[in-house]
Amino acid sequence: MSYIENYSFINESKRTFGFDNNSHSLSDKETVENDFLTSIYRNQNYNYSKFFKMDFLAKNVFLLAENLKNFLPENRNNVGIVFMNNFASFEADVKFEKTISDKNNYFPSPSIFVYTLPNISTGEVCIRHGLKGESSFYVLEKFSPEIFVNIVNSSLIFQDYVLSGWSEFVNSQIKSMMFLVSKFPKKENCEKFDAFNVKKIFETIWKN
């Protein structure tokens, strides 16, 4: 049995982000140069300068986890992260390609290259919060509540908590969510982490 302790979300098309039933909305003014993720960072006054070195995916996963950081247990040795998306590290791939495509201006960038692996995003969260459980990354075409729940539950056999999430690009805008899933629920009325409940939350976040 596993439980949803909390969940966080970012929906660029609705300009919203938050966790559980707390939703923030960003106005036009608060949106920095078409960069919704940085806008969230600034709006929340986060203080983690490494954020600016990250690629799009890493920023996405970082912000989702940041919204759940107060719910993480003290002991992080058995806390892991399993994340999935439908675009791997595409944005970083294109950026890196630009540094090598012109023979006469060939300067491959190491700091961009490191982000051309989607699991760097999950690695960054582990570094930030000291998570020493498992970190895994999967790439799927569409969100599947059943596959998501099965993979996460399989991972949870070997640890106590898993941050698990999904992110996708819909019309060049990011929609994403992350769950803090646990084996031993802290709260009384935790919803079960199953396909039905995950789908319910997914549909709430995703609907336009």
Partner 1 sequence: MEELILKLKNQIIDTLNLDDKKPEDIGDDEPLFGDGLGLDSIDALELIVLMEKNYGIKLKDASEGKKIFVSVRVMADYINKNRLK
Partner 2 sequence: MIEIVSDNIISPLGFSTEENFQNVLNFKSGLKISDGIFSLDGNFCLSAIDWNLLDLEFENFFSKRPSQYLKLEKAILLTVGKAIKNIDVTDFRTGFFFSSTKGNIELLDKNQFSDSRLNLWYTAKMISSFFNNPNIPIVISNACVSGLCAIISACRAISSGMIDKAVVFGGDILTKFTLSGFSSLKALSNKPCRPFDIERNGLNLGEAVSAMVLKKSDSENYIAGSIRQDAYHISSPSKTAEGAFNALQEVLKNIDKNNIAFISAHGTATIFNDEMEATAISKAELSEVPICALKGYFGHTLGAAGLLETILSYYALNKGVILKTLGFEDLGVSKKIKVTTKNDTTDKQYFVKLISGFGGVNAAAVFKKKN
Q: Which is nearer to partner 2, 103 or 207 (CB)?
A: 103
104 near partner 1 (CB under 8 A)? no
Q: Which stretch in 2-10, 14-22, 82-90, 105-113 sits in contact with partner 1 by CB under 8 A?
A: 105-113
108 near partner 1 (CB under 8 A)? yes
Closest contact distance (angstroms) between CB of 187 and partner 2 is 26
What are the structure tokens assigned to 25, written together?
Answer: 């909305």
For residues 26-65, which are near partner 1 according to CB under 8 A?
Answer: 49, 52-53
Residue 53 has phi, psi (to 5 degrees) of -90, -15
CA angle 111, 61, 119 (to 5 degrees): 55
- Distance between the two ends of the chain, CA-based, in angstroms? 32
Out of 13, 38, 147, 160, which residue is the one contacting partner 2 (CB under 8 A)? 147
For residues 47 and 58, the answer to whether their CB atoms sit within 8 Å is no
Q: Which is nearer to partner 1, 109 or 204 (CB)?
A: 109
For residues 176-205, which are near partner 1 according to CB under 8 A?
Answer: none
Write a three-state SS string for 55-81: CHHHHHHHHHHHCCHHHCCCCCCCEEE
| Alpha carbon distance 13, 11 (integer Å) | 6
**Strand, helix or coil at 101?**
coil
164 near partner 2 (CB under 8 A)? no
- Binding site partner of 169, from partner 2, partner 1, none, Cβ cut-off 5-8 A by kind: none
Q: Which stretch in 87-95, 106-114, 153-161, 176-184 sits in contact with partner 1 by CB under 8 A?
A: 106-114
For residues 202 and 168, the answer to whether their CB atoms sit within 8 Å is no
Number of other residues whose CB lies within 10 A of the CB of residue 172 = 7
105 near partner 2 (CB under 8 A)? no
- Binding site partner of 46, from partner 1, partner 2, none, Cβ cut-off 5-8 A by kind: none
Closest contact distance (angstroms) between CB of 43 and partner 2 is 26
